[in-house]
Amino acid sequence: MKFHGILVVFLAAAHASAHDLWLVPPEKPEPKKAAIFRANSGSKFSKSDHAPDPARFRRRLLIHPDGSEGSLEPGGTEDRSGLLNAEPDRPAMYVVAVETEPKLITLEADKFNDYLVSDGLAHIYRLRRKEGTLDHPGRERYSKSPKAIVQVGTGAGGDPCRVVGLPLEIVPLRNPFALKVGDTLPVRVLFRDEPLADANLGWDVPCDGDAPLGTVRTDARGEALVPIAQLRLTTIRLTHMTSPKTADYEWESFWTTLTFRIPE
């Protein structure tokens, strides 16, 4: 009965929103021309509520079709977006990614519990209940590592399934640009380079609402199937949390998104 009680709590609060970071690729990038990626942060994909400063990111990655690293340069901000500049050298698929610097935050007990609920972090909620700390504030360190895959021109080179070594990473197991509405995209979640089981993946399309369009849990191999609801822009998102119990924070969360545009 206790388990069912927890389940009811989680379902009742599933409307609460996460605050994600996305790398939004340009619509029609061309080889040997500047391609601008927008770093957007908010709760409604892909609407940004403030402009992250790309110059303050801990790491910026552009992966060329041959696996070599290129230059992904900070380009300041525009409106509520941080700008990242790249220049793809040939028609193919490219991967871009960033990592933010970790930050500390303390949330009131109720807000922290609601956050655990909305992001599907049932293992942390259960741990707090077991410890008798559901009425304690949540002292947390968090960082974000979004990734995007972009098709430049009509070239078939490049590897959209490449692992780039983010702390928490969603890796497609199939070329998303070859899919159509009604297909499913198999993905694998890696946490510190190891498959992450029972991770609560969400997927969304632009401005569909605060809650993800749908969610699915990864299996024992860290894999799941994500349905393709529409062409054009799509994101897959995930938050994972650990309990390091340090002097400065008790919890550490890792956030990631995978964003791509399927051509019409």
203-212 tens-digit pLDDT: 999 975 667 7
pLDDT of residue 155: 77
| DSSP states of 136-169 | S-EEEEEEE--EEEEEETT---S-TT-----SEE
**For residue range 46-76, what is the model confidence (pLDDT) as tens digits?**
999 999 999 999 999 999 999 999 999 999 9
Q: CA-to-CA distance for 197 and 3, rounded, in angstroms?
A: 19
Residue 6: inside a domain, yes or no?
no
Residue 14: inside a domain, yes or no?
no
How far are the Cα atoms of 40, 44, 176 from residue 231, in angstroms, in the given order? 20, 18, 10
Residue 92: inside a domain, yes or no?
yes
Residue 254: inside a domain, yes or no?
yes
Q: Which of 11-20, 126-135, 240-249 has the lowest mean pLDDT?
A: 11-20
Q: Residue 27: is its pLDDT beyond 70?
A: yes
**For residue range 162-174, what is the model confidence (pLDDT) as tens digits?**
999 999 999 999 9
Residue 83: inside a domain, yes or no?
yes
Whether 190 and 147 have beta carbons less than 8 Å apart is answered as no
pLDDT of residue 18: 59
Residue 128: inside a domain, yes or no?
no
| Of 13 and 167, more confident | 167
Residue 131: inside a domain, yes or no?
no
Q: What percent of the chain has pLDDT over 70?
A: 92
Q: How many structural domains are present in the chain?
A: 1
Structural domain boundaries, residue 256: 20-103+138-262
Q: CA-to-CA distance for 231 and 244, rounded, in angstroms?
A: 40
| Of 6 and 100, more confident | 100
Residue 126: inside a domain, yes or no?
no
Question: What predicted TM-score, i.e. pTM, was given to this entire model?
Answer: 0.91
DSSP state of 54: G
Report the length, in residues, of the chain: 264
